[in-house]
A and B are shown apart, each in its own frame.
Chain A
Amino acid sequence: MKIYLSQDAVARALGADEVAAELARHDVELIRVGSRGMTWLEPLAEVEIDGVRHAFGPVTVSDVPALLAGTLDGHGPTEEIPFFANQTRLTFQRCGVIDPLDLDAYRAHGGLTGLERALDMDGLGVVEEAKASGLRGRGGAGFPTGIKWETVAKAEADQKYIVCNADEGDSGTFADRMIMEGDPFSLIEGMAIAGVGVGATKGYVYLRSEYPDAIRVMKAAVEVARANGLLGASLLGKGPAFDMEIRVGAGAYVCGEETSLLNSLEGKRGVVRAKPPLPALEGFLGKPTVVNNVISLATIPVIFEKGAAHYANFGLGRSKGTIPLQIAGNVKYGGLYEIAFGLPLGEIVNDIAGGTRSGQPVKAVQVGGPLGAYFAPHQFDTPFGYEEFDGAGGLIGHAGLTVFDDTADMLGMARFAMEFCAVESCGKCTPCRIGAVRGVETIDRIAAGDMAAKELLTDLCETMTDGSLCALGGFTPYPVMSAMTLFPEDFAGAREAAE
């Protein structure tokens, strides 16, 4: 009997290891895989029946006898579950399917085809292919990946670097974690292709310390890649040199900002650098550096495997390809949902996520992490795309959606946004360092009934937006102002009754 069991952090956090220990006491072939992304079913066990994987979950230790006897109620073939079947899985094609550290399985499922193809091209060809795919930075800024690569490729230097930003600190996002735990070779292959494209021989993954499982899997995957000649003195034994290291962050949210990240990687305080110079020209240790998000880099292999045109065929307007939506917070069906850009927000929240877990009406959805705007149900026709969300006064960020039911206190959420900014500010620029503290105080005045403080808060937010060096201070006004604008009743100063 062949059973696949998720070893993703979500599954482990919900008892998958205990289930695995129980299964190990029986005569089963147990394969630990990444997550299929349907996290409300975790720990998800899949039993192979006539070559088709059938889903059972959430599975507990006490379910094991029934699971083995074939009497446990399941969900049918995993890939026919509507949440899964309706996706377009490109970046996440192997996640949850294979043993994350099995390089042969990776190859058998299309892995390394992209790198092989890239090695047949010259650097310029690789950069052109990335440009033609229309891929934009999935970390949130949405800058075209190929154009960033072109800048680094054209820079003259004795050493260049590929740095992967795996400091996925935004609440409501976990796509980076999931792909690193479930298909780490896709990130390694993507970084190697980037190295071929720009002429870099060294890569770093800056991975946050809050992700111990991802750190363990990525470190192990680099070892496997090295031992099998994927990485090292010559990529796959026929390409240029490329090797990489996994570096662990130290709990500073601001290090997800690329220049802070570079300082941190160099062993400094994670303080934001002024731009210019662009990291593409003067990045890690002053050398030309590609800094890309995990999902951007992990999407590169499938672009090279299937061709830029195939990837660019998906999407909406200038938002090409697919986006791994991360559906989080108070939802019935949460998890990772990869789909072409363009779905209306309401369809994601109401149809795919099935509304709230609590069963209460949806009050607000924060899109794009702690620096993203709140959306109210009357904005649910906004299509999921970079320009479309920008036009609606928000941003898609790293594509996390955090759903709140009608018990949410939006003044409290606005206050939290300012408080978070104050805790995590690197301190370099005044609007962020001081502004966030003043923001908390001003929101407390509104809560106490001082309505004149609303104008003050608006003014403060404008200053932070215009005057901050990076997105931490510059975007904190998104959640604050959207909360105040969309939910004025929560800012009416009658907080005593609510508490």
Chain B
Amino acid sequence: MQANSPASAPDLGAIQEVIEAYTHLEGPLLPILHAMMEAFDHVPEDAVQPIADALNIGRAEVHGVISFYHDFRTLPAGRHIVKICRAEACQALGANGLADAVLTRLGTSWHGTTPNGAVTIEPVYCLGLCANGPAAMIGDKVVGALDEAKLERVISEAGA
């Protein structure tokens, strides 16, 4: 996942372009929201009304869907999102202690962003690397068999 610059709000033309690429689908809302995330790193507030208009649903419905799913955020995150697996199979290999140590060192907590804005840490419940944990995902790259040193290296490569 590329880190775009979300400093200025995306313009309505760009938003409209994203929406129109998907309106021909059956059940287009999730694909539209994913495309918003891809284009802008978040779903801009300014996109809610155009989406509602395009799909002939209410603003509240759009908001309801955005807020239901963990993947959609309404504010930009850090430049990189690191998702650390908290699920049972990784816990069996010490994921809890690993996550605690990393969060303490970064001075942040789950869903938090490092002070320099480089990295946001999110929990994730299973990446399917359950025999090779603990596991994490940076952008869309997965890493396994983590220990503290390896996870720290991965995070510092991301700029934290």
Contact = CB atoms under 8 A, between A and B. Distances in A.
Contact of B130 (A171, A213, A357): A171
B103 to A, nearest CB: 17
Of listed B33, B34, B128, B141, residue having the most chain A CB within 10 A: B128
Interface stretch (A48-56, A266-274, A304-312): A266-274
Nearest to B142: A13
B64 interface: yes
Contacts of B29: 267-268
Contacts, number: 162
Interface residues of B, number: 44
Contacts of B27: 247, 265-267, 284-285
A334 B140 CA distance: 24
A366 interface: yes
Nearest to B28: A267
Interface stretch (B8-16, B90-98, B113-121): B90-98
Contact of A211 (B70, B128, B145): B128
Contacts of A269: 64-65, 68
A268 B65 contact: yes
Nearest to A17: B141
A187 B144 CA distance: 26
A14 B128 contact: no
B92 A408 contact: yes
A67 interface: no
Given A169-B125, A402-B88, A250 B34 contact: yes
Question: Per DSSP, are chain B's interface residues mostly helix, strand or loop, or mixed?
Answer: loop
Interface stretch (A111-119, A172-180, A192-200): A172-180
B130 A400 contact: yes
B65 A39 contact: no
A400 B132 CA distance: 14
A330 B34 CA distance: 35
Contact of B144 (A10, A212, A266): A10
Contacts of A402: 88-89, 92, 130
A257 to B, nearest CB: 14
Contact of A370 (B65, B72, B88): B88
B30 interface: yes
Contacts of B132: 10, 13-14, 39-40, 42, 334
Interface in A157-214: 168-174, 176-178, 209-213
B130 A328 contact: yes
A245 B27 CA distance: 12
Contacts of B101: none
B75 interface: no
B102 interface: no
Given A210-B137, A370-B87, A329 B144 contact: no
B131 A328 contact: yes
Contacts of A404: 92
A173 B30 contact: no
Contact of B30 (A10, A248, A413, A416): A248
A388 B130 CA distance: 25
B91 A413 contact: yes
B125 A416 contact: no
Contact of A168 (B55, B128, B135): B128
A366 B92 CA distance: 10
Interface string A77-92: 0000000000000000
Contact of A330 (B25, B26, B31, B93): B93
Contacts of A229: none
Nearest to A285: B26
A15 to B, nearest CB: 9
Interface string B117-160: 00000001111111111010100111111000000000000000
Of listed A14, A170, A328, residue having the most chain B CB within 10 A: A328
Contact of A334 (B28, B34, B68, B131): B131
Given A13-B132, A210-B124, A172 B89 contact: yes
A235 interface: no
A7 interface: no
B139 to A, nearest CB: 9
A416 B89 contact: no
A329 B89 contact: yes
A9 interface: yes
Contacts of A177: 128
Of listed B61, B83, B124, B127, residue having the most chain A CB within 10 A: B127
A424 interface: yes
Nearest to B62: A267
Nearest to A252: B69
A366 B87 CA distance: 12
A316 interface: no
A478 interface: no
Interface of B: 25-31, 33-34, 55, 61, 64-65, 68-72, 83, 87-93, 124-133, 135, 137, 140-145
The 5 closest A-B pairs by CB, nearest first: A334-B131, A267-B29, A171-B87, A328-B130, A251-B70
27 contacts: A12-B142, A13-B144, A14-B144, A39-B131, A39-B132, A40-B132, A42-B132, A169-B126, A171-B125, A172-B87, A172-B89, A177-B128, A209-B34, A210-B126, A212-B141, A251-B71, A252-B68, A265-B30, A267-B30, A267-B55, A285-B26, A327-B131, A400-B89, A404-B92, A413-B88, A416-B91, A426-B68
